[in-house]
Amino acid sequence: MVEDSSSVAVLDTAAGVWCDTKSVVTAPRTGRYSADAAGGDAAVELTRRCRHAAAAVGDLIFIYGGLRGGVLLDDLLVAEDLAAAETTTAASHAAAAAAVSNVLAGGLPGRYGFSDERTRQSIPEAVPDGAVMLGNPVAPPVNGDMYTDISTENAMVQGSRRMSKGVEYLVEAAAAEAEAISATLAAAKARQVNGEIELPDRDRGAEATPSGKQISSLIKPDSSVSNSSAPAGVRLHHRAVVVAAETGGALGGLVRQLSIDQFENEGRRVSYGTPESATAARKLLDRQMSINSVPKKVIAHLLKPRGWKPPVRRQFFLDCNEIADLCDSAERIFSSEPSVLQLRAPIKIFGDLHGQFGDLMRLFDEYGSPSTAGDIAYIDYLFLGDYVDRGQHSLETITLLLALKVEYPHNVHLIRGNHEAADINALFGFRIECIERMGERDGIWAWHRINRLFNWLPLAALIEKKIICMHGGIGRSINHVEQIENLQRPITMEAGSIVLMDLLWSDPTENDSVEGLRPNARGPGLVTFGPDRVMEFCNNNDLQLIVRAHECVMDGFERFAQGHLITLFSATNYCGTANNAGAILVLGRDLVVVPKLIHPLPPAISSPEASPERHIEDTWMQELNANRPPTPTRGRPQVANDRGSLAWI
């Protein structure tokens, strides 16, 4: 036992009462665990719940255990008797040091606590003799503070340091494990041998006082507390904060501080297991980490408006796994979008590209590109379909647009064209390009995966509820925008209704003088629609303009129905024979539409495209376009019984 000025008592931390070794309450305080609640028998009630002891050593009180409500804690608490602290002299500190020596010699079983110097800085004027003032609970450093007050009273009073009779503050330290405490005691005993006894602070570093000075809690025999400063360096706190896993019950949400020496798994390392499983796991991890990098890789490789050159080698730079990752990311975005996009101005609108990636780069170079160095921050981009077929670089075109969609999902918008269908792009070049540039097995796989993505593309876009954009037209069946909105995706061309066929395949009649519905030279079952249909549709839906693509026009854009419909085509010199210009439409915030054009480039005299190797490699596309001539430029008559036309096919 601790002798002389020390004593032994029992603390009820829930009721805030002290009792002696015979369970007689010495500092009564009402509460739900008071003597009244125990039927008048305070000794029985307190003895039943409070079996942990406390020792007073000078002005410090060390409590082993306590209660939180009805839960018995295995904590080490520290309190301070402020009245005793006022009268403590150097001699009393020496006596306290001697008492600690008795503790080290085995006088008090249990654990060793840490003093809190903060409560010594300010003492209230009216503190009766014998009143016990407890230090405030602390948490690990927060926002640079050495300590953070987490006491229940402080939470209710918001920082108030009100002092009153009895126990006001409870210091709740962590459940320090026996191993860590034994190490602390051993260190203290070693220092005692050297002639000094140290009562370390909570994180064994110097503690900040309100004056800014660093105070070390070092007590020497026959001397007062030393005020020597000790610089604080980078250190690992000796306790970790743990929140109880239980969501309910007495321990629900309880925050504990545990010694870092307690964690049994600290020395264990997470491994992949066997070498075989390690290789597979690393590949899976690399695959998952690379998904987000594929769009950036594509953009970095392809988005070069001024510096892009056709590759000398036709081998495509992405493999089928990377294309799959890109399609997966884009498909998740398309599947979350409606069939009719709701867009706002300002916006740029692009017509058919048909694999002519060089024209896309020229348009980006002349009129701004979708990048942080370009104008993506203040204007959107809308593409009206037909990204593949006919041209030399369908893979570059579609992969860059998909990468831009993933990178800027709210600024780049794609809708479907009639060539975004497997049965069409299998005939007009895209399938052949995939095989020729990726190999037969990977090429066919990539072609199938991209076409599955095409089935998720939105079908139209409504800008400011005044302009509707689509690929083909309104045909004979589309009278209201809701008909397009009701088309459910994913949808294949074979499973589509007449609404989908009209939306992707129909054309305006030859000019404004031809009204009504006429057969379309593209094939049986397809129609052309006159200016009267355009005006009827606009009136039914309170629209002012229809923007569509689908037909090559000589100036890149062409008006119809007195300007209520515009045909837009962005690829120049279509199939190498049309000699047409390409255009985009720029719609400003004031809803003014500005066409912007690029003209065909003259054939390059010496370039990779004109080299003998390039000529041989490009033969397959030239032969395909010769065998299957494109639809004539709008305004030019269709050759009768053309066996290479889509109508004949």
Active site residues: 419
3-state secondary structure (DSSP) of residue 72: strand
For residues 216 and 351, what is the distance between their CA atoms, to the nearest angstrom?
A: 76
What are the residues whose beta carbons fall under 8 Å from the beta carbon of 269, sequence distance 6 or more?
none
What are the residues whose beta carbons fall under 8 Å from the beta carbon of 440, sequence distance 6 or more?
none
For residues 132 and 164, what is the distance between their CA atoms, to the nearest angstrom?
A: 10
Angle at 553 between CA 547 and CA 554, to 5 degrees: 135
Q: Do residues 322 and 399 make contact, with C-beta atoms less than 8 angstroms apart? A: no
Q: Which of 364, 445, 453 is nearest to 402 (CA)?
A: 453
Secondary structure letter of residue 20 according to DSSP: -
Burial (Cβ within 10 Å: 0-12, 13-18, ≥19) of residue 416: buried
Q: Do residues 170 and 12 make contact, with C-beta atoms less than 8 angstroms apart? A: no
What are the residues whose beta carbons fall under 8 Å from the beta carbon of 256, sequence distance 6 or more?
174, 175, 241, 242, 243, 244
Q: Which of 412, 420, 427 is nearest to 549 (CA)?
A: 420
Per-residue b or e along 204-216, where b marks 16 or more CB atoms closer than 10 Å to that residue's CB? ebbbbeeeeebbb
For residue 352, the tally of other CB atoms under 10 A from its CB is: 29
